[in-house]
Structure 1
Amino acid sequence: MGVLVRSAARQLCCAARAVIPCTWRGKYFSSGDEPAENNRVTPMLRHLMYKIKSTGPITVAEYMKEVLTNPAKGYYMHRDMLGEKGDFITSPEISQIFGELLGIWFISEWMAAGKSAAFQLVELGPGRGTLMGDILRVFSQLGSVLKNCDISIHLVEVSQNLSDLQASTLTEAKIPLERNAESPVYMKGVSKSGLPISWYRDLQDVPKGYSFFLAHEFFDVLPVHKFQKTPQGWREILIDIDPQVSDNLRFVLAPCVTPAEAFLQHDETRDHVEVCPDAGVIIQELSERITLTGGAALIADYGHDGTKTDTFRGFCGHKLHDVLTAPGTADLTADVDFSYLRRMAQGKVASLGPIEQQVFLKNMGIDVRLKVLLDKSDEPSVRQQLLHGYDMLMNPQKMGERFLFFALLPHQRLHGRSHQINACQSKPSASPVAGFAELAWQ
C-alpha cells in the first residue's frame, strides 16, 4: 500500500524492499484509552460536537464514518497515512514477498478454476497501490502463463488523494488518465504492463463478471457498532460530549434499545460485542457475485473468529492514540470478526479460514522465495532487510499470528478435487486451495 525504496533493478528475482523502522499498527490490542500528548480542538471535533448538540449522542459507527471518510475533514480523504511519515505500516510495505505471494495465489486459483479467458482483479481499499503493484509485477513475470487471458484491474477507493497516489504507483506516466468525477468510474488509466485500470467509489459500481477480489486491511476500518451487556439487557455504546470537561468527548450507554441491536446474535455469550453491518453488506455482495459469475475473494486482516470483545483503537505516528482525542488526526480501527463474515456469506459460497498469516505464507512458499532473493543478493544491507521483513511477517509475536487470511469461493470449487491435485502427491490434500494448503502447481 505504499511507495517504498527498492533496489535499482526492481526485478522480481533480485529486488528487495527497504524496511521502514516503525511500528505495525496491529501490534497492540487495546481499546485506545492511553492518554494522548495533547487534546487539540480539531475541525472534526468541532463538527462532531455541533452534530451531537443538534441531534444527541452518536453511535461509534457514525463516529468512525465521520472521522475517517467525511468528504471535507475525514482522516483518509486528505492525508498520506502510510509509511514512516504516516501513522501505521502494512505488510506490503514491510516486504515485497507478501504481494508476490498474493499474486501467485490469484494465478493459482485462476488455473485451478479452469483458466478462464478473462478475469477482473478487484481490490478494495488499495492504499498507495503498493500491493497491487507487486501483484502486477508477478503477473508480468508470469506472462507466458497468462498470455491468453484478458485481465483488467478495478480499484475501489473513496479518497481522491489516495487514488492519485495509486495512479502514480501503477499507471504508465506517458498515457494520460481519464477523469470524470460524475461517473461511477471516476478515473481510468493503463498499468505499466499495459492492463486497463479503473477506479470506483463503491463495489456495486464495479462491472459484474468473473472476478477475483482482494481486501487487505480493508474491513478493519469499516464502522462498528459497540454493545455492552447490562442487567437490563444489551445497550449500545454511544459517544457524547463530556459535561465535566470542555471540548472533550466520552463514551455513554444508550438508555434503551437502539435499532442496531438487531445485528446481535441471539445466542451471543460475550459481554461486549463489536458488529460491522457494512462488512456484512460487502460480504453479501461478494458472495452473490462469486455465486453468479465465479471467481474468489481473498481477505487479509487482523482479527478474530468471534472471540474478542473491545478492540476499537486509534493510531497516530505509529503509537496508540485515544480514539476520542483530536478526531481526524489518527487512524481508527477495530479487529475483524471473521465469524460474522462467515455468517453473512449465508452459505451462498464456501469459506476457508481464518488461518494465521504465518501458516498461509508458509503454504504459499515464502521460505523458498526468501532463499531465492537471498541467493541473488550480495549486498549485506539488502539481505538484512529481507530477513527483517520475513521476521515481521512470520514471527508470532509480530504479524505471524495476529494477521489472518480468509477466502470465499464457489462451492463447486471444492468438489471434484482429483483433477486439481498435483500428480506427484501420494494422497489428496484436505483442501485444494493454495495458502490454506500447500501450493501445488498443475
Structure 2
Amino acid sequence: MVPASPVARPLRHVARALFPCVWRGKYFSSGNEPAESNRVTPMFRHLMYKIKSTGPITVAEYMKEVLTNPDKGYYVHHDMLGEKGDFITSPEISQIFGELVGIWFISEWMSSGKSSAFQLVELGPGRGTLTGDILRVFSQLGSVLKTCDISVHLVEVSQKLSEFQALTLTDKKIPLERDAESLVYMKGVTKSGIPVSWYRDLKDVPKGYSFYLANEFFDVLPIHKFQKTPHGWREVLIDIDPQVSDKLRFVLAPGATPAEAFIQCGETRDHIEVCPEAGVIIQELSQRIALTGGAALIADYGHDGTKTDTFRGFCSHKLHDVLIAPGTADLTADVDFSYLRRMTQGKAASLGPIQQQTFLKNMGIDVRLKVLLDKADEPSVRQQLLHGYNMLMNPKKMGERFNFFALLPHQRLQVGSHQMGTCQSKPSASSPVAGFGELTWQ
C-alpha cells in the first residue's frame, strides 16, 4: 500500500461478514459509503476536532467516545432498546429467557451450599427487564429462598437507562434515594421488597458472595483492531478522509502501537480484535469469585478465538455503517471468549462458550414453553410465546450466534489439585452445572 500521510495508511481491503439479522446483529463498515449518506452529528464534530488536534484515533477510543461520552454519548442520551429503539435483547423477546437465568442462579446457590445471603449483580441491565424476570422467579420460589438475604446491585453508566430500570424494578410507593456524588448514585426497594443499588463501576459494588450477570454487555466494550501486514501487526485507526472533509475512514498505523501488547503470541489470524477493558472486568470477577464465592453468567454474541472482523453498527433495527453519523447508532463487536478465558488467569474456573439453544434446552425451555402455552387463553399470547421461542432457539436467528459462558470457583467443580492452575475446567459427574449439562436439582 502507498502511504497516505506521515501518520497512517488507508485500510480498504479487509474481509467482512454481513449478518442479515433483525436484532442487534450488525455490520463492520468499510467506510467507503457515499459522503452524502453521512450526517454531521454533534459527536461527529467532536471527533473531527479531536482527530485534527491529535491525529488518528484507535477504534477503542472511537467506541468509547461514541457510546459513553458524558455529553454526546449514544448510551448516555438514547433510549435504544425495544421496538422503538435500535435493537432488542433476549429479555425483551421472551420472559422465558430471564426465568431460566433465574433458575440457573438458584441452582448454583443450592449446589454451592445455600449461603445465608447473596448479591445479584447485573452489568449493563438495559431496561431492567432481565433482573425483573429473575426476581419474579425468586419470588415464585420463595419457599426455597426464604432464609436467604438477597440484595440487587446494578452497574449502569447511563442515567437515562437507570431511570428505566427503576421504573421496571422498584416500588413506586418508596422514594428513590439519589446522590450523584456517591459511588452508589441511586438506591431503592424492588416491588418484592429487595434492596437495589446503582453503581457506575463494578469495582464500586461491595465485595461478598455474589452472582454476576452480563447479558449483551461485553460486546459493546471498546475494542482495538489489528491487521497483519508484511511488516508485522498494524493497528487499525480512524482518521478524516483527506478527499472528503466530512467523512471518516479506516487507516493503518505506520508502526507499532502500545495496544499490540495485547496480541497473543502465535496468533494465526490475519485480522483480530482485542478488548482490554473486558479483560480487566474478567480479572475483577475472577478475583471476587475466588475470594468470596458465587458465580458469573455471561451471555453474548461471540466466538472462541476464531473470528476476525466483527465490528458493526445498528440503528432502528437495521445494519448501520460504523463510521456514519456517530452517536446515533449502537456499536458492537463479537466477544472473544478465548480471550476472556485467558484473562481469568486461573483464578476462577470457566465453562463454555456453548450455544444459546443448547444452554436453554438444558435449562428446560421446552417444558417451560409448554406450561405457558397451556395457561395462555388468547391466541395472540400463544403466538407471541412461540415467536419468542423461535427467536431464541432458531439456529439462523439467536440459537447459534448467542453463547453462554460461566465463571465459578474451582472448588465448585471439584477440580483435582493437578488441574487448579488451568484456565478452563469441566464439571465432574458428581457436580453438574445447570445449562452446561442438563438441569438437575440436588
Q: Secondary structure at the match of 1:413?
A: helix
- For residue 404 of structure 1, what is the aligned residue in structure 2? 403
CA–CA distance in 2 between the matches of 1:65 and 1:430? 44
* Two-structure CA RMSD over aligned residues (Å): 1.5
- For residue 437 of structure 2, what is the aligned residue in structure 1? 437
Cα offset for 1:430?
A: 7.7
Cα offset for 1:79?
A: 1.1
Contact 1:226 1:236 in 2 (8 A): yes
- For residue 262 of structure 2, what is the aligned residue in structure 1? 263
CA–CA distance in 1 between the matches of 2:76 and 2:357? 32
Q: Structure 1 residues 40, 416: closer, same or farther in 2, change over 3 A?
A: closer
Contact 1:221 1:334 in 2 (8 A): yes
Whichever residue aligns with residue 404 of structure 2, its letter is F
- For residue 390 of structure 1, what is the aligned residue in structure 2? 389
Note the 1:64-213 alignment, pairs <5 A. 64-213=63-212
Cα offset for 1:266?
A: 1.1
Q: Secondary structure at the match of 2:77?
A: coil
- For residue 340 of structure 2, what is the aligned residue in structure 1? 341
Q: Secondary structure at the match of 2:389?
A: helix
Contact 1:312 1:333 in 2 (8 A): yes
Equivalent residue pairs, number: 410
- For residue 219 of structure 2, what is the aligned residue in structure 1? 220
Q: Secondary structure at the match of 2:76?
A: coil
Q: Secondary structure at the match of 1:23?
A: coil
Whichever residue aligns with residue 434 of structure 2, its letter is A
Cα offset for 1:31?
A: 4.4
Whichever residue aligns with residue 126 of structure 1, its letter is P
- For residue 4 of structure 2, what is the aligned residue in structure 1? none
Cα offset for 1:32?
A: 6.6
Cα offset for 1:23?
A: 1.8
Identity %: 84
Cα offset for 1:429?
A: 3.9
Contact 1:34 1:321 in 2 (8 A): no
Note the 1:346-357 alignment, pairs <5 A. 346-357=345-356
Whichever residue aligns with residue 154 of structure 1, its letter is H
Whichever residue aligns with residue 437 of structure 2, its letter is A
- For residue 316 of structure 2, what is the aligned residue in structure 1? 317
Q: Structure 1 residues 315, 179: closer, same or farther in 2, change over 3 A?
A: same
CA–CA distance in 2 between the matches of 1:231 and 1:290? 43
CA–CA distance in 1 between the matches of 2:396 and 2:265? 34
CA–CA distance in 2 between the matches of 1:358 and 1:255? 44
Contact 1:431 1:437 in 2 (8 A): no
TM-score, length of structure 2 as denominator length: 0.91
CA–CA distance in 1 between the matches of 2:380 and 2:259? 52
CA–CA distance in 2 between the matches of 1:104 and 1:295? 15
Q: Secondary structure at the match of 2:207?
A: coil
- For residue 17 of structure 2, what is the aligned residue in structure 1? none
CA–CA distance in 2 between the matches of 1:377 and 1:323? 42
Contact 1:32 1:321 in 2 (8 A): no
Contact 2:273 2:309 in 1 (8 A): yes
Cα offset for 1:322?
A: 0.6
Contact 1:315 1:332 in 2 (8 A): yes
Q: Secondary structure at the match of 1:362?
A: helix
Whichever residue aligns with residue 316 of structure 2, its letter is G
Task: Name segments (4+ residues, structure 1) moved above 2 Å.
Answer: 28-38, 428-431
Partner deviation per Cα, 1:359-387 (whole Å, 9 max, x = no partner):
00000000000000011112111111111
Q: Secondary structure at the match of 2:225?
A: strand
Cα offset for 1:30?
A: 4.3
Cα offset for 1:431?
A: 6.1
- For residue 370 of structure 2, what is the aligned residue in structure 1? 371
Partner deviation per Cα, 1:397-417 (whole Å, 9 max, x = no partner):
000000000000000000189
- For residue 37 of structure 2, what is the aligned residue in structure 1? 38
Q: Secondary structure at the match of 1:25?
A: coil
Gaps of at least 5 residues in structure 1 are 1-21, 418-427
Whichever residue aligns with residue 438 of structure 1, its letter is E
Contact 2:28 2:321 in 1 (8 A): no
Contact 1:33 1:321 in 2 (8 A): no
- For residue 8 of structure 2, what is the aligned residue in structure 1? none
TM-score, length of structure 1 as denominator length: 0.91
Cα offset for 1:38?
A: 2.6
CA–CA distance in 2 between the matches of 1:35 and 1:97? 40
Q: Structure 1 residues 292, 74: closer, same or farther in 2, change over 3 A?
A: same
Whichever residue aligns with residue 333 of structure 1, its letter is T
Gaps of at least 5 residues in structure 2 are 1-20, 417-427
Q: Structure 1 residues 392, 431: closer, same or farther in 2, change over 3 A?
A: farther
